[in-house]
Amino acid sequence: MSADLALKMMSDLLWTGLMVCMPVLGLTLLVGLVISVVQVVTQVHDASLTFVPKLLTAGICLLMFGPWILRKLGQFATQLWSGIPQMF
């Protein structure tokens, strides 16, 4: 295996990981930001007030984006397995 191929595989791995995690992390970050602004405005500082909405958002995102995430991971795994003969 050449160094170029290893770097390309690592790049594909990191890019796929970023794309798979981005919907859940992005929406959870957005909900956390909105809840934090509401806490600052209302001066209500309760830990469960931030935890529960972010947990629900992450769960809903996984339900909505789950098939897409699995499809992306399946495509990545198929690409890796089909590329094995070219490595040697």
Between residues 3 and 59, which one has the greater pLDDT?
A: 59
Q: Which amino acid is located at 47 in the chain?
A: A
Residue 64 has pLDDT above 90, yes or no: yes
Q: What is the pLDDT of residues 33-43, one digit of tens each?
A: 999 999 989 88
Nearest residue to 39 (alpha-carbon basis) of 29, 47, 54:
47
Question: For residue 75, what are its two tokens?
Answer: 């495509």
Q: How far apart are CA 26 and CA 53, in angstroms?
A: 14
